A = this chain, B = another copy of it.
Amino acid sequence: MYTKPKIVVLGAGYAGMVTTKRLTQLLSAEEAEIVLVNKHNYHYESTWLHEVAAGTINPNQARVMISDVINPNRVRLVYDAVVKVDKDNQRVELENGELDYDILVFALGFESNTFGIKGMKENAFAIEDIDSSRQIRDHIEYQFSRYNNSPEKDDASLAILVGGGGFTGIEFVGELSERVPELCKKYDIDRSKVRIINVEAGPTILPGFDEELVAYGKKSLEDRGVEFRLGAKISECTEEGFIVNDDELIKAGTVVWTGGVTGNSVLGNSGFELFRGKVNVNSDLRDPSSDHVFILGDCSWVMNEETGRPYPPTAQIAIQEADTAAANIKALLYGEPLQDFVFDNKGTVASLGKKDAMGTIFEGTKLYGRKAVYMKQIIDNRSLYIIGGPKLILKKGKFRLF
């Protein structure tokens, strides 16, 4: 008796969702069984989470029910948490069950990485998923709500301290610069009492970004009241805030760490060979030690042959990897040669709140202000399109008029 090969996709982020969709397009129901495993019954736009955390978009706009965009009659949907992958026996251990596979796609996404900074894990929030981002939003709001009721009226309780001047940290303070005035109005609090502070150990925010763009972004945010502490090394995070440069305490009622991410910890628990928390995959996106396992998105490093360094993890690259992975899975089933992944860099745009942005497109064209905001909306809507087609853009898309 012929048994259909079973393809198991772990994770319904950008990489997992797009791989699953492409597989349903490339393979008929007779050619393979496809299983998608995800902790929640929804996919979320992880590049929008900083907006959820700031409270500038509704969490529901940033997520979509998986069964609304993947046909459950075609793909078996399993809502469960992955505990471990047993590569030797080709099995996946779930919190409430287990699955075997012929081909595995490991795309469980990122986790926050505190690099062992003392107290950071215990005392700082991280922008990791819908639940944690929503809690940050509500925590900030609760600090405002408490303020007028507390006899001491401690202004530091209103301060928001953001560790890390990378992409997420900068986009997050951009949203906060627009959210804080709204909260001040809502809770009868003077805007001048609320500090938004970004702390970065390096000499600049957005390392690797074009210097001119970085200067533009920094000024735009400073003009709206964001304070930057560059070259400030965080030695500890306490209940009160950050200790920087060994002895200075920056106090804040809300502390968020955006300074680092790493691959999902299930990788390490399953015995994959890790390099800085992720797997260095082959150019065909497979795990070097297992022919039947693809590792995508924030769980793997893909080498840029030109620079000799891995590509930075983004939604853009995860989506492109999914295309290659799906094609390679089909090739693997038919014993055909696998293709190498080639990254087509379409550029990067960083939002600075809803009304300003900056970035580069098409290998170096710089964009600022309204044009960049417009481009950012196109990018955000494009990822909705890839996941759920034009219907999803109409439902969750970003359309802001000037």
Contact = CB atoms under 8 A, between A and B. Distances in A.
Interface string A165-198: 0000000000000000000000110000000000
A146 B135 contact: yes
Copies in the complex: 2
A62 B282 CA distance: 63
A146 B139 CA distance: 9
Interface residues of A, number: 16
Contacts of A137: 145
A135 B145 contact: yes
Nearest to A137: B145
A188 B134 CA distance: 12
Looking at A139, A141, A145, A146, the one whose CB has the most chain B CB atoms below 10 A away is: A145
A115 interface: no
A132 interface: yes
Interface of A: 40, 131-132, 134-135, 137-139, 141-142, 145-146, 148-149, 187-188
A137 to B, nearest CB: 8
Nearest to A147: B131
A68 to B, nearest CB: 16
Contacts of A188: 40, 131
Contacts of A148: 131
A170 to B, nearest CB: 24
B138 A145 contact: yes
21 contacts: A40-B188, A131-B148, A131-B149, A131-B188, A132-B149, A134-B145, A134-B187, A135-B142, A135-B145, A135-B146, A135-B149, A137-B145, A138-B138, A138-B141, A138-B142, A138-B145, A138-B146, A139-B142, A139-B145, A141-B142, A142-B142
A142 B149 CA distance: 17
Contacts of A141: 138, 142
Nearest to A128: B149
A361 B149 CA distance: 37
Contacts of A135: 142, 145-146, 149
A186 to B, nearest CB: 8
Contacts of A132: 149
Nearest to A125: B149
Contacts of A146: 135, 138
Nearest to A143: B138
Nearest to A58: B186
Nearest to A132: B149
Nearest to A41: B188
Nearest to A135: B145
